[in-house]
Chain A
Amino acid sequence: MNTFLSRLNSLFAMTMTVLAGLTFCCFLSTVHHTHHSIAKLDTPSVLVRQAPDYMIGHEINDLGHMTLNIDADLNHLFNWNVKQLFVYITAHYKTEKNAFNQVVLWDKIIRRGESARLQYSRVNPKYYFWDDGFGLRGNPNVTLALQYNVIPNSGRLLNIYAEGRHVVSMPENYIKGRA
């Protein structure tokens, strides 16, 4: 502590340690939150067709297409320890070929400060709904679920399902050409 630089070193080291402690206290102040929310999902139109899957060597697979209605309010999930929410909708189903399939249809990043009120009507999905094989036609139970990653400033990275799933029964017939 005899020279300017050694005092600066001590002061800076203590500041960084205190900052680390404050960040940990920020985590502790939000560790008990449950991140529960309710979502209403709907699919106004559901279609299935067969198409060559360009991503895997043009083999023919089932391609689903469902427009989405999304209604959820996630504003209460934000607090001083949440940096952003990564929200996404997945379709879960079972086929003869694969016991468990999960496909992401739509996602959105909501940063702190942006509105987290999701109100979408008849939106197209963001990503293609390819199946591995022909398991979509006539599949009676394709479940849509809204999930979100709560990305904190400090703490665990959580993946939470919103309450409220929507079950879709896929049509029996393929669509040919443009729907």
Chain B
Amino acid sequence: MDSLINALKSRLPPSHMDFEGQRRAETAFQWVLGIFATIGFACGYAYQQFSLTVYILGIGFAIAALLTLPPWPMYRRNPLKWQPVRVNNTAGENDVSVGAKSSRKDK
């Protein structure tokens, strides 16, 4: 089952972002939703229709999705700088150390 899922996943285009991009994407959609929530509440109160508030929030969701769900290039501007691969030549040691930073999310 795992190999089936991996095979399917590998057919899709990659959707990763680097960490700085993820942070900016999260900030972006939080602001978009917050702004549309405020606009929605104000318009709903003015016209006394709660459906208006929900629809405006829905539009905010669509805009935030368009802005942050696809992996736009602007979210890939700070890729991790991996160390180059070191292969040890001494006999007996077969230690291919990929001395990269471990994947800690830095916020």
- The total number of A-B Cβ pairs within 8 Å is 65
Are the CB atoms of B15 and A79 closer together than 8 Å? no
Give Cα A149–Cα B57 distance, bound, in whole angstroms: 30
Chain A, Cβ-Cβ closest to B23:
A1
Asked if A26 is an interface residue, CB under 8 A from chain B, the answer is yes
Specify which chain A residues have a CB less than 8 angstroms from the CB of B15 in the assembled complex: 3-4
Asked if B48 is an interface residue, CB under 8 A from chain A, the answer is yes
Give Cα A164–Cα B15 distance, bound, in whole angstroms: 67
Give Cα A2–Cα B37 distance, bound, in whole angstroms: 26
Choose the segment among B62-70, B84-92, B93-101 that binds chain A (4+ C-beta atoms closer than 8 Å): B62-70
Give Cα A39–Cα B65 distance, bound, in whole angstroms: 51
Specify which chain B residues have a CB less than 8 angstroms from the CB of A26 in the assembled complex: 41, 44, 50, 53
Classify the interface of chain B: helix, strand, loop or mixed.
Answer: helix
Please tell me which one of the listed residues A10, A11, A22 contacts residue B61 in the complex, with CB atoms under 8 A apart. Answer: A11
Asked if A80 is an interface residue, CB under 8 A from chain B, the answer is yes
Q: Residue-by-residue, is B67-91 near A (CB-CB < 8 Å gives 1, otherwise 0)?
A: 0111100000000000000000000
Specify which chain A residues have a CB less than 8 angstroms from the CB of B50 in the assembled complex: 23, 26, 80-81, 153
CB distance from A172 to the nearest CB of B (A): 52
CB distance from B97 to the nearest CB of A (A): 24
Specify which chain A residues have a CB less than 8 angstroms from the CB of B61 in the assembled complex: 11-12, 15
Asked if A169 is an interface residue, CB under 8 A from chain B, the answer is no
Interface size on B, residues (CB 8 A): 30
Are the CB atoms of A15 and B57 closer together than 8 Å? yes
Give Cα A62–Cα B29 distance, bound, in whole angstroms: 68
Please tell me which one of the listed residues A2, A8, A19 contacts residue B57 in the complex, with CB atoms under 8 A apart. Answer: A19
CB distance from A16 to the nearest CB of B (A): 10
Please tell me which one of the listed residues B54, B64, B71 contacts residue A11 in the complex, with CB atoms under 8 A apart. Answer: B64
Please tell me which one of the listed residues A8, A15, A25, A81 contacts residue B41 in the complex, with CB atoms under 8 A apart. Answer: A25
Give Cα A10–Cα B33 distance, bound, in whole angstroms: 12
Asked if A124 is an interface residue, CB under 8 A from chain B, the answer is no
Chain B, Cβ-Cβ closest to A29:
B45
Q: Residue-by-residue, is B1-44 near A (CB-CB < 8 Å gives 1, otherwise 0)?
A: 00000000000000111000010011001100110010011001
Q: Known contacts A3-B16, A11-B29, A11-B64; decide if A18 and B49 are in contact (CB<8 Å).
A: no
Asked if A7 is an interface residue, CB under 8 A from chain B, the answer is yes
CB distance from A4 to the nearest CB of B (A): 4
Give Cα A52–Cα B77 distance, bound, in whole angstroms: 86
CB distance from B69 to the nearest CB of A (A): 5
Are the CB atoms of A22 and B57 closer together than 8 Å? yes
- Which B residues form the contact surface with A (CB < 8 A)? 15-17, 22, 25-26, 29-30, 33-34, 37, 40-41, 44-45, 47-50, 53-54, 57, 60-61, 64-65, 68-71
